[in-house]
Amino acid sequence: MPPLLASFVAAFVTLFIVIDPIMVTPIFASLTKEESHRARLKIAFMAAVYSVAILVFFGFAGNALLHRLGVSLAAFRAAMGIILFIMGFRMFFDPDSETNAKTPGPKAAQRENIAFFPLAIPMLAGPGAIATVMLLMGPNTGLIEKGAVLVATIIVLAIGVLMMAFAGRIGDALGRTGMNAITRILGMLLMALATQYVFDGVRIGILGLTQQAT
């Protein structure tokens, strides 16, 4: 296998596993269950655009930026894990909160753009994806290999958009009760995943400090 193709395949497989658009799809269906099909497509597309911009930025400048700020990748991973845990907590204990937040009312101007949060960050372009892209596009990676990683990233997110485009059918089939049940289950899984992110960040950070001390 040519080196460039091998780099692309390795990046695609790794990013597909880390980003996991299959897991994002039911969460997207839950968050957009009151939206029209056209609105869902727009949200999915914008989430992918935001994710590409975030991953490209961190791929080219992430290592230098964190180093300049004096922030380790382990600390960044732990911080993103805390954010993910909060989102999972809300999904588990109040699955209707996201829908209610998007219902017309006096606080409409204060609503969050769910395409950016929580879909782009931390679901699609989460700590795992950011860390993976920063690793694959490290300082020792050639420009052509970096291009292969970018193409793989775009393809994975495009697959995610296609899967989210059919998320409405999932919501229609399951109904409100079924979607709330899935939201709670996914919230529990997200809290577990977030806890793992925090543990990994703390563990790697402590190991790094230990190695510096010895």
**pLDDT tens-digit readout, 127-150:** 778 878 887 887 677 888 889 999
Question: Is residue 105 predicted with pLDDT exceeding 70?
Answer: no
pLDDT of residue 57: 93
Distance separating the N- and C-terminal Cα atoms of the chain? 42
Q: Is the dihedral of CA 110, 79, 51, 72 positive or negative?
A: positive
pLDDT of residue 1: 65
List Cα–Cα distances, 60 to 28, 133, 142, 164, 205, in angstroms: 28, 9, 12, 28, 23
SS3 per-residue string spanning 52-83: HHHHHHHHHHHHHHHHHHCCCHHHHHHHHHHH
> What is the reported pTM?
0.67
Closest CA to 6 of 158, 205, 145: 145
Non-local CB neighbours of 174 within 8 Å, separated by 6+ positions: 182
- Number of residues that this document lists for the chain: 214
**pLDDT tens-digit readout, 42-80:** 999 999 999 999 999 988 888 788 778 888 777 877 877
**What's the rounded Cα separation, in Å, for the pair 199 and 189?**
15
**pLDDT tens-digit readout, 83-104:** 778 877 887 887 666 444 434 3
Ramachandran quadrant class, 36 (left: phi over 0; alpha: psi -120 to 50; beta: rest) = beta
Query: In the chain, where are the structural domains located?
Result: 3-213
pLDDT of residue 99: 46
